[in-house]
Amino acid sequence: MQRKKVVIDTKIEAAKTKKGLLLVHTGIGKGKSTAAFGLLARALGHGMKAAVIQFIKSRSDSGEERFFRNAANLNWHVMGDGFTWETQNPEQDLASARKAWEMACTYLRDETVNLIILDEFTYALKYGWLTIDEVSTALNNRPPMQHVVITGRAAPPALIELADTVSEANLVKHAFQAGVQAMPGIEW
């Protein structure tokens, strides 16, 4: 038997608090953004209202964006310019990140929004486009039952400290290591 799981399940059953959670999916393994999009499907299935803000991604032809585009109760914002080493334009990166963050903040003040996904958000902290102080303040002041999911590599310790649930995706192996190319439905 899997005793550890039984103990965890008993703890879950004993838990009584209800609150809006801050969830962080970090690490270099696969499954951070997809975990957020799976949660999005889960929340929408319960009739919750949600918003997605993509901080880095600039393409609107992703499978997830196409699939969720017409979902009820959802606003999806592709706000990025691609990664900074692609754009080679730090001013543009900063401006895009600040614009995305302003958009995020409007949702973080709206108690009718049950779930906010800040996709690839950690890079905005990593590159100093946003400070952890302004981010912490906005997250702490959000509506008490609002859930927020943040994805991206190298979540800073202050963000992990602030979070309720943190999952780190460890890269055990990846198909690209065997020369397999990125494919639709898998990587985008």
110 lines the binding site for a second copy (CB under 8 A): no
Stretch that binds a second copy, among 58-66, 89-97, 104-112, 135-143 (CB under 8 A): 58-66
Contact positions with a second copy (CB under 8 A) in 87-106: none
Distance CA 55, CA 123 (A): 8
N-terminal to C-terminal alpha carbon distance within the chain? 38
Site string for a second copy, 145-164 (x = CB under 8 A): --x-----xx-----x--xx
64 lines the binding site for a second copy (CB under 8 A): yes
176 lines the binding site for a second copy (CB under 8 A): yes
**N residues, the chain:** 188
Q: What is the DSSP string of 100-161?
A: HHHHHHHHHT-TT--EEEEET-HHHHHTTSS-HHHHHHHHHTS-TT-EEEEE-SS--HHHHH
Distance CA 64, CA 14 (A): 36
Q: Strand 74-78's sheet: what is its strand order?
A: 22-26, 147-151, 115-119, 50-54, 74-78
Residue nearer to a second copy on the CB measure, 30 or 77: 30
Total residues in contact with a second copy, by rule CB under 8 A: 83
Contact positions with a second copy (CB under 8 A) in 5-24: 5-6, 8, 11-12, 14-19, 21, 23-24
70 lines the binding site for a second copy (CB under 8 A): no
- Options 88, 91, 144, 173; binder of a second copy; rule CB under 8 A: 173
51 lines the binding site for a second copy (CB under 8 A): no
> Would you tell me how many other CB atoms lie within 10 Å of the CB of residue 32?
25
> Would you tell me how many other CB atoms lie within 10 Å of the CB of residue 64?
20
Output the smallest distance, CB 80 to a second copy, in A.
15
- Options 91, 116, 137, 181; binder of a second copy; rule CB under 8 A: 181
Residue nearer to a second copy on the CB measure, 102 or 140: 140
